[in-house]
Amino acid sequence: MFVPKIYGHPKQYTHNKSYFCTMLTPLPIPFVERISKSPLFGQNVLEAFDSSAPTSIRLNPNKSTTLDFELGEKVPWCNLGHYLTERPNFTLDPLFHAGIYYPQEAASMSVYEIVKSLTLPENPIVLDACAAPGGKSTALLEALPANGVLVANEMNRHRCNVLAENISKWGNSNVLVTHSEVHAFSKHKALFDLVLIDAPCSGEGMFRKDLNARTEWSLENVKLCAERQLEIVKQLADTVKEDGYLMYSTCTLNKEENEEIIQHLIENHAFEACPLPSLTNALPSEQSLGYYFAPGISKSEGLYICLLRKIENDKPSMRKNKQLPPIKTATLPDYIQINANDGLVQEDDKTYLMSQQTLTVYEQLRGDFRFMKKGTLLGETAMKGFVPAHEFALSTALINTLPRVELSLLDARKYLHGDTFPLIAEKGFVVVTYRDSALGLVKNLGNRFNNLYPKEWRIRMAVS
């Protein structure tokens, strides 16, 4: 992340529009003109785009340990969120890789508070339609009832890999990660109790943190984003059950990509706007359709968020799946103990752990989607027996009785880098930990060990 350099003292340009053009990467002039005239935003927001962005993280309530840095004040709209007084190097922190916390922009944490305030069924089915990199997905997992199921989808293949990695580190098994265009979901009418659309947008709310967003912005791009967003919501509108919810968000600050999209849903797809819980320092939109966070108003970047309720919908479509092989059950080695209410699925030689509700959703969707993650991958049956998977070591949904060995900070970083080092441990598969938090697996051969940390997840920067 970069902070723009200022030529001259900011105070002398406080009421001069040219101040905003003296930065190394200036704010786009049409954006400046619109925001400066806005009764909602105005001069304070423009000036705040040149201030330092706060750093915040959201804690994983199912994993806990002592952090290597100090937590600051809580994020007002998320009791799991904290601001940090200084920004650590997250890449070099083993606890980030262990899923102890997730670095997340503070306004985005409002998803957690909003979903916690909803009256959902005991076993809701939820779709995060544009889910990468996973911040809102992991917040949803914490906000849902214990028997809920999350389908986290991402259209871009590379971003979907990142999404699956971040969700795996979080440790839940009640989640499916799909790689699909959103139109594939339109076949599944009235399936979801809640759909979150964090839509791709022009990124105006990120102008403080991401200077590239400034250079890529244009009025034409705003128009193209709005057209794409409209197509996305049209495809997903009827996937929401009657009395279910659609939550729409962007990190931009214009009506074309926000209120006008919401107005289309209300007028054409049988939705009504819902009140939101108190969101400290968020501003209601001029049409009272959702709320805005923005620098200079809230301690966050820019975000628009709105909640809608589906007034009516037909009964769910009872689609016949393609002819697929039956799902097989599996057996496990003694060192894996699962909850009696969870199920095991074997596909090829791989064994997955899913809650029964997740398994039901998977059976309904598996003929139409490419899955990048299915519950928790426990391991694979090989010639010499069962080989546990990395996801298994990070899971919070089971009891793992494999031997454990604690690593120093340096050795933990070396492990995450893919290195080997002297290690005293029992022979066989061993869980390596840092501050008693699982990082992953090694296989100790006696005179050496194999580092089983996934190659695609490894730290690439120098660690010593």
The answer to whether the beta carbons of residues 190 and 118 sit under 8 Å apart is no
Mention every residue, 6+ apart, whose C-beta is less than 8 A from residue 354.
173, 174, 342, 343, 344, 345, 362, 374, 375, 376
Strands 303-310 and 240-250, how do they pair? Answer: antiparallel
Q: Which CATH number is 106-310 given?
A: 3.40.50.150
- Whole-prediction pTM: 0.92
Over range 247-275, report the average pLDDT.
98
d(CA 91, CA 417): 10
What residues does each domain of the chain span? 106-310, 402-464
Mean pLDDT of the chain: 91
Predicted confidence (pLDDT) at residue 332 exceeds the cutoff of 50: yes
Tell whether the torsion through CA atoms of 199, 203, 208 and 210 is positive or negative: positive
d(CA 349, CA 362): 18
DSSP 69-85: S-EEEEPTT-TTEEEES
The closest of 324, 320, 323, 342 to 332, measured between CA atoms, is 342
Per-residue pLDDT of 401-455, as tens digits, reads: 999 999 999 999 999 999 999 999 999 999 999 999 999 999 999 989 999 999 9
Instruction: Look at residue 340 in the predicted model and tell me its pLDDT.
Output: 78
Predicted confidence (pLDDT) at residue 209 exceeds the cutoff of 60: yes
Over range 256-263, report the average pLDDT.
98
Residue position matching structure tokens 């103990």: 337
- Give the strands of the sheet with 449-451, arranged side by side: 404-406, 428-434, 437-444, 449-451
223: left (phi over 0), alpha (psi -120 to 50) or beta: alpha
Q: Could you confirm whether domain 402-464 is CATH 3.10.450.720?
A: yes
- Return contacts of 441-449, CB within 8 angstroms, 24+ apart: 441/388, 441/390, 441/392, 441/393, 441/402, 442/415, 448/420, 449/420, 449/423, 449/425
Q: Per the omega criterion (within 30 degrees of 0), is the bond before 133 cis?
A: yes
Mention every residue, 6+ apart, whose C-beta is less than 8 A from residue 333.
385, 386, 388
Over range 312-328, report the average pLDDT.
64
The closest of 278, 285, 187, 306 to 238, measured between CA atoms, is 187
DSSP H helices, 152-218, are 157-170, 211-216
The answer to whether the beta carbons of residues 242 and 194 sit under 8 Å apart is no
- Other Cβ atoms less than 10 A from the Cβ of 354: the count is 24
Predicted confidence (pLDDT) at residue 6 exceeds the cutoff of 50: no
Active site residue 21: no
Per-residue pLDDT of 107-163, as tens digits, reads: 999 999 999 999 999 999 999 999 999 999 999 999 999 899 999 999 999 999 999
- Other Cβ atoms less than 10 A from the Cβ of 429: the count is 22
Reported as a pLDDT band with limits 50, 70 and 90, residue 331 is confident
Predicted confidence (pLDDT) at residue 382 exceeds the cutoff of 70: yes
d(CA 58, CA 403): 29
Instruction: Look at residue 319 in the predicted model and tell me its pLDDT.
Output: 59
Predicted confidence (pLDDT) at residue 169 exceeds the cutoff of 90: yes
The answer to whether the beta carbons of residues 304 and 311 sit under 8 Å apart is no
Mention every residue, 6+ apart, whose C-beta is less than 8 A from residue 316.
188, 189, 190, 191, 241
Structure tokens at 237: 């509108």
Phi, psi of 232 (to 5 degrees): -65, -50
Over range 19-24, report the average pLDDT.
48
Instruction: Look at residue 278 in the predicted model and tell me its pLDDT.
Output: 84
**Ranked by mean pLDDT, which of 219-233, 321-335, 355-369 comes out on top?**
219-233
Whole-number percent of the chain with pLDDT over 70:
91
Report which secondary-structure segment, H or E, holds 153.
strand 149-153
Instruction: Look at residue 329 in the predicted model and tell me its pLDDT.
Output: 62
Least confident of 339-343, 366-370, 371-375, 443-447: 339-343
d(CA 291, CA 204): 15
What number of CA atoms fall less than 13 Å from residue 157's CA on the CB side? Answer: 1
DSSP 86-134: S---GGG-HHHHTTSEEE--GGGGHHHHHHHTS---SS-EEEETT-TTS
Selected catalytic residue, list 78, 160, 225, 251: 251
Instruction: Look at residue 230 in the predicted model and tell me its pLDDT.
Output: 99
Instruction: Look at residue 14 in the predicted model and tell me its pLDDT.
Output: 39
Over range 277-302, report the average pLDDT.
94
157-193: burial string, b at 16+ Cβ within 10 Å, e else:
eebbbbbbbbbbbbbbbbbbbbbbebebbeebbbbbb
d(CA 459, CA 443): 20
Instruction: Look at residue 324 in the predicted model and tell me its pLDDT.
Output: 59
